[in-house]
Amino acid sequence: MPELSHGRRMLVLAICCMSLLIVSLDNTVLNVALPSLQRELDASTSGLQWTIDAYTLVLASLLMPAGSTADRIGRRRVFLSGLVVFTLGSLLCSLAPDLNWLVVFRMVQAVGGSMLNPVAMSIITNTFTDPRERARAIGVWGAVVGLSMAAGPLVGGLLVDSVGWRSIFWVNLPVGLAALLLTWRFVPESRAPRARRPDPVGQVLVIALFGSLTYAIIEAPHGSWLSTAPFAALAAVALLALLRYEPRRPEPLIDLRFFRSAPFSGATVIAVSAFAALGGFLFLSTLYLQNVRGLSALEAGLWMLPMAVPTFLCAPLSGRLVGSRGPRLPLLVAGGAMTVSGLLFALFEAETSNATLLAGYVLFGVGFGFVNAPITNTAVSGMPLSQAGVASAVASTSRQLGQTLGVAVLGAVLAAGVGSSSYADTFVTASRPGWWILTACGAGVLTLGVLTTGPWARATAERTARRLESEERPPRRTGVGA
């Protein structure tokens, strides 16, 4: 990629952030619309889970091949294709005649989304080569997540109450078209000098692992053991096959060498934990505010602002801290705030008091605002630029897998606790195990933030980077005429 002026780099960052905005906004807007979907389409709890998880599941399955494909054939080309497919999928979602078709069209959306975020992050990584400037750019990237969380509930609430749930997908159309035109005009093409070849066997194993595991979790409360056990077994077999097959390939879909770096491994697990907490938190909160408290979609969106605004404000601060002091402090703040937030719900039934509910939302927003920048920075820092798409795709996959598992696990826990009763009668008691799970996710972020940011962890990252770079270089020729 040619060296760009400061203004051009800022424009590229803004265009990439537009893609993140529509992908992130889509999830927060949809969460507010879940009760409306439940009423209009006669959806069960598992049906609501699938409207979210069909999207995040496909994203998680396709992000890594999208990143490596972009490195190989051109990041701008793949990014443009993703914008077209995502915008078309949004239009189809708004026209869905029933829940089944909505789930299918959400998967179409996700195919496009898989070409956006990891490729955009790869473009940013190759555009901002100075480490401090890159950290600040990633902080802005994280702030866009906060913006989507702040705007999503309000925009979704207004649209659902005034027009209906279908209109939430219309928001993506003008933003997607504008991003498409700007990308075509201003984003330069870039490729890796030597990108990985396709790995179809690894891709099939990833899809089998993620899909069967999610199905087993979501459907467990509604079916017999015999109906879900085969899917759990398939997930285990796919995982074992991946661990055995991928190291044998010269260019695998999942490069397990990355995980020799303790910071990279820690960032991956932190991403799964933090985004599982986010997915579960939004799912439980939306159903509680509208189905238990009886609030409208707009009122529920206003109640979620105390979570969204701190996320928006803390994300750029986290990026600056990562650039100046490293990832440890932001991770400690994130893990501590998310853990205390979970404890407020698990121990003190924060839902039953406006004051504790508000405190729980604020603390979770602070924690989630601080966690995104260190995840992204750690995932791409120290890795060869030629593999930036693959490294950032692993981080993005971890996020989507975490959100998928969060909705699947907490939705299953809630469905098992509620049973045939109404939400109003049993929600607080039925959701208690789910809040303990969220507390454990926050504690995991806190613990790994300590363990994977010290001198030992940094040494493993340096050794991994040197090894990756040496293994990428072609062997030197020896002998006569060398």
Whether 364 has a pLDDT exceeding 90, the answer reads yes
Residue 289 gets which letter from DSSP? I
Please write the tens of the pLDDT for every residue from 445-478.
Answer: 999 988 888 888 878 877 877 777 666 555 444 4
Whether 479 has a pLDDT exceeding 60, the answer reads no
CB-based contact 22:86 (threshold 8 Å): yes
- Mapped onto helix, strand or coil, the DSSP state of residue 194 is coil
Please write the tens of the pLDDT for every residue from 61-99.
Answer: 888 788 778 878 888 899 999 999 999 999 999 999 889
Q: Which two tokens stand for residue 87?
A: 């915008």
Please write the tens of the pLDDT for every residue from 26-46.
Answer: 767 888 888 888 888 888 888
Closest alpha carbon to 411 in 138, 136, 47: 47
The pLDDT assigned to 482 comes to: 35
Q: Confidence band (pLDDT; 50, 70, 90) for 481? A: very low
How far is 280 from 285, CA to CA, in rounded Å? 8
Maximal C-alpha separation, the chain: 84
**303 — alpha (psi -120 to 50), left (phi > 0) or beta?**
alpha
The pLDDT assigned to 128 comes to: 82
How far is 434 from 276, CA to CA, in rounded Å? 11
How far is 187 from 8, CA to CA, in rounded Å? 9
Burial of 225 (0-12, 13-18, 19+ CB in 10 A): exposed
**Torsion angle defined by CA atoms of residues 38, 43, 44 and 45, in that order, rounded to the nearest 10 degrees:** -50
Residue 128 main-chain phi, psi, to 5 deg: -105, 95
Highest mean pLDDT among 119-133, 326-340, 392-406: 326-340
pLDDT greater at residue 169 or residue 5: 169
Report the mean per-residue pLDDT for the chain: 83
Specify the amino acid at residue 11: L
Please write the tens of the pLDDT for every residue from 96-143.
Answer: 988 999 999 999 999 998 888 778 877 887 788 777 787 778 778 767
pLDDT greater at residue 379 or residue 152: 152
pLDDT greater at residue 255 or residue 341: 341
Burial 296-334 (b: 16+ CB within 10 A, else e): bbbebbebbbbbbbbbbebbbbbbebbbeebbbbbbbbb
The pLDDT assigned to 277 comes to: 93
Q: Confidence band (pLDDT; 50, 70, 90) for 236? A: very high
Angle at 62 between CA 56 and CA 64, to 5 degrees: 115
Instruction: Give the lowest-confidence range in 101-105, 362-366, 430-434.
Output: 430-434
**186 — alpha (psi -120 to 50), left (phi > 0) or beta?**
alpha
